Amino acid sequence: TLENIIELDLTAIPINALPASFGFHSKLETLVLKLSQIESIPSSIKNLTRLRKLDIIDCNKLLALPELPSSVETVLVECRLIKTVLFPSTAVEQFKENKKRIEFWNCLNLDERSLINIGLNLQINLMKFTYQHLSTLEHDYVESYVDYKDNFASYQAVYVYPGSSVPEWLEYKTTKDDMNVDLSPPHLSPLLGFVFCFILAGVFTYDNPIDFKITTIDAEGDGEK
């Protein structure tokens, strides 16, 4: 029955809307609307308390993304006309979330409020994610080889969204290919991890993302990619 659906894949099916009662699918964990003609997503999607993944890649008629349930971990978006993205209204509610992979590819029409809220949501989720996974970092590193498109090692979190500035809360900034990071200040001990932010010129897509490598070298010259 519909009430027992766990994964719903509507890829390339020419639907333009989901029913208002869609929030009753309480067991749904994965929703894929890729390549659909979807124009709106009902606000009742917030009631899907088991939903973990939402894929709306190449949905070029969607104008707004409503508030999602706190259970969502992965959101993949490539909607060229999307303008508005809604989040929980308070930081307390956002701290209940567990987002670790949020990608807005070529969403160049997002309004300023949505961009600001995406940035705030990014900061909250990354900070929470780092503290949650501190005890498992070493174990996960050993088994960290994963496929980019389908999985992420559990110690990684990724956000992709349009913008022209690096968030102010990131301390170190440069336009060069390398940077020295001072790990001696007390506020950086113990080090929980690194957050990297890149601003890239040009247009990239979910299916053809930029590829890059990061190499860290300590004071003794030992390197690690």
Burial class of residue 150 (count of CB atoms within 10 Å of its CB; 0-12, 13-18, 19+): exposed
What's this model's pTM, rounded to 2 decimal places?
0.80
Q: How many residues does the chain have?
A: 225
Q: 37-57, pLDDT tens digit by residue?
A: 999 999 999 999 999 999 999
Q: DSSP per residue over 170-204, as a string?
A: -----SSS-------SGGG-S-----------S--
Give CA–CA dist 103/209, Å, rounded.
Answer: 11
Give CA–CA dist 197/171, Å, rounded.
Answer: 11
What are the respective helix, strand and coil percentages of the chain, to the nearest 5? 20, 15, 65
Q: 69-103, pLDDT tens digit by residue?
A: 999 999 999 999 999 999 888 878 888 888 889 99
